[in-house]
Amino acid sequence: MTGSNQNNLILFGYQSCGKSYFGKLLSRELHCPFIETDVIIEQFYREKYLEPLSCRQIANKLGEGGFRLLEMQAVDSIREVSNSVISVGGGTLINQENYSKVKKRGKLIFLDVEKQIIKQRIFKDGVPSYLNQHDPENSFEQMYDQRLPIYAKLAMFTVTLQDKSVRQVLDELTSIYTERDSK
């Protein structure tokens, strides 16, 4: 890949799949910055509304549309970033405009985790606003089934986390980082 922005690794996948966890570890290992669009969204919200909230709280307060506007601003804010590990939220790349911008900035890596693990992690802190509050189980199933083929299609690389140690996952991600060609 050519161009300064092409040296980024962009981790994506479902909420709670391990993007932040592996992103932080990988950035330390590669001695490069780690950037999370969710953190940028929280910063933008705090600056605008003078109130510190998590992404989940922001989505509940502003609704899907308001949250997605902040998300688009966060994507725009990373346009000059290079030689970094970047984590984007679970719904970021579903938006075609965000996808078009992000794919130019580096190697898109889908972190694939078993559905039941994702489900347990997502519901650990209650029902997120993007799921139907009256039927969260079915809503989760629909979201998962809808996004899986999209994620698979958008990915330049897929790293499956099942039955792998942290070291094995980091080695796989490092190998992708150092690889010169991608699809």
Q: What is the pLDDT of residues 23-79, one digit of tens each?
A: 999 999 999 999 999 999 999 999 999 999 999 899 989 998 999 999 999 999 999
Contact partners, residue 94, CB within 8 Å, separation at least 6 = 147, 150
Residue 125 confidence class, pLDDT cut points 50, 70, 90: confident
**What whole-number distance in Å separates Cα of residue 122 and Cα of residue 17?**
9
pTM higher than the cut 0.75: yes
Half-sphere exposure of 142 (CA within 13 A, CB side): 8
Centroid of chain to Cα 153 = 15
Count of C-beta atoms within a 10 Å radius of residue 179: 12
Please list the alpha-helical segments (H only) found in the chain: 19-30, 37-49, 55-77, 96-102, 115-123, 136-154, 166-178
Residue 3 has pLDDT above 50, yes or no: no
Residue (of 120, 155, 156, 154) closest to 15 by Cα position:
120
Quickly list DSSP for 19-50: HHHHHHHHHHHHT--EEEHHHHHHHHHHHHHS
**What whole-number distance in Å separates Cα of residue 146 and Cα of residue 14?**
11
Count of C-beta atoms within a 10 Å radius of residue 43: 14
Which helix (H) or strand (E) is 17 found in, with range?
A: none
Residue 182 has pLDDT above 50, yes or no: no
